[in-house]
Amino acid sequence: MSDAELRQACRIVLPGHRQPSPAETFAAMAAWCDANGVAHDVYGEGELLQAFEKKMAAMLGFEAATFVITGTMAQVTALRLACMERGSRLVALHPSAHILRHERGNHQLLDHFQALQLGDPQRPFTLAELQGVPDRLAAVALELPARELGGQSPAWDELSAIKDHCRAHGIHLHLDGARLWEAAAGYGRPPAALAQGFDSAYVSLYKGLGGLGGAMLLGSRAFVARAQEWFRRQGGNVIHRTPYVVAAAMQLEARLAAMPACFRRTQWLYDTLQDFPRLRPNPAQPQANMLHIHVPVARERLLEIRNEVAAQHGVWLLNRAAHAQLPGTSYTEWYVGDNLLALPDEQVRHALTLWSDAL
């Protein structure tokens, strides 16, 4: 049995959101389209798409927003434009940035910009580290929260100081907001307050919002217009954006309304994990509704435990596992979503007991 089949057979799944079948998703989309009189956009021209773009821009306090087929295309394009505007090719990125970790060198091989790694790999970079850069930066990209750090974000005062520094020095500050809504719940502030002070931002339409794919790039009207031309040049001018927009728009309000509850559930989970010392969360305190759980076994053994518990008890503990820094240790990423919200406390404790005992 494959991992996907094993997960599907489990009666209890801990991480993430419930995953409806394609048939369920498409049926819900069709019903929503019928109820709202949705017509297809054509190469970005359409009432639904443009209304959704305006709604996103207003929610986050930007002049404009535009649909992008992927966040990968959105972010390197935004940073390329920032470099072109400022006459410098240098962009500061955290070592854990998605661009560096997961995009196969696209910024370099496609000649978008030159990347300067900034800060310690295990924590967000600080204002002092940014101030210590002697070069003239065109842009700084900041991921909130930082996925590869278990959902860490800078303290609010530190974030505000970084914004002030970039503004004072004419540095374009870009927000990797793939999980912006989660970070806002962790800060206890509205998303627009988090986005304020950034010159541009990217948000995902499928991560926390549960859509099929796609992204939004936000910024000034002139900046977004230039980005749209570059998306066309890179093959991003797909004929119909409608499926991606519908999949996100039909559940936007419900997903955003659930973010504070997801964060409170994460806080409860941290309290509960104190009873399971073999399961060590990172960061030490929750900063978003996601975390890493470190365990004292190698990655291969962790995956074996996952599959054994799934087969014997019908409980799916984790999705992917990764090697940790110390030999014989590993970790997994947990996103606290629909699944943990819906599970009674005692079932979560039972699942954690199964996991801890297997360790």
Instruction: Say whether both 218 and 259 belong to one domain.
Output: no
> For position 334, what pLDDT does the model report?
97
Q: How far apart are CA 80 and CA 112, in angstroms?
A: 5
Instruction: Say whether both 73 and 169 belong to one domain.
Output: yes
Residue 27 lies in a domain: no
Instruction: Say whether both 225 and 345 belong to one domain.
Output: no
Domain of residue 244 covers 38-250
CATH number of the domain where residue 187 is located: 3.40.640.10
> For position 142, what pLDDT does the model report?
98
Instruction: Say whether both 261 and 313 belong to one domain.
Output: yes
Residue whose tokens read 């940790």: 324
1 — pLDDT class (breaks 50, 70, 90): confident
pLDDT at 315 over 90: yes
CB 293 within 8 A of CB 332: yes
State what percent of residues in the chain have pLDDT above 90: 98
Which pLDDT tens digit goes with each residue over 29-75?
999 999 999 999 999 999 999 999 999 999 999 999 999 999 999 99
> For position 277, what pLDDT does the model report?
97
Which pLDDT tens digit goes with each residue over 100-138?
999 999 999 999 999 999 999 999 999 999 999 999 999
Q: What is the average pLDDT across 153-169?
A: 98
Instruction: Say whether both 92 and 13 belong to one domain.
Output: no
- How remote is the C-alpha of 231 from its chain's centroid? 21
Q: Choose one of 250, 278, 311: the last residue of a domain.
A: 250
Which pLDDT tens digit goes with each residue over 259-291?
999 999 999 999 999 999 999 999 999 999 999
> For position 160, what pLDDT does the model report?
98
Q: How far apart are CA 217 and CA 226, in angstroms?
A: 11
State what percent of residues in the chain have pLDDT above 70: 100
Instruction: Say whether both 108 and 231 belong to one domain.
Output: yes
CATH number of the domain where residue 299 is located: 3.90.1150.10
Instruction: Say whether both 157 and 197 belong to one domain.
Output: yes
pLDDT at 233 over 90: yes
Identity of the residue numbered 43 = Y
Q: How far apart are CA 284 and CA 27, in angstroms?
A: 42
Q: How far apart are CA 327 and CA 145, in angstroms?
A: 27
> For position 7, what pLDDT does the model report?
94
Work out how many domains the chain is built from and give that number: 2
Instruction: Say whether both 213 and 76 belong to one domain.
Output: yes
Quote the mean pLDDT of the chain: 97
Q: What is the average pLDDT across 194-213?
A: 96
> For position 249, what pLDDT does the model report?
97
Residue 270 lies in a domain: yes
Global pTM reads: 0.96
Cα 330 to Cα 30, 46, 219, 298, 306: the distances in Å are 42, 47, 39, 5, 13
Cα 192 to Cα 202, 250, 254: the distances in Å are 13, 21, 18
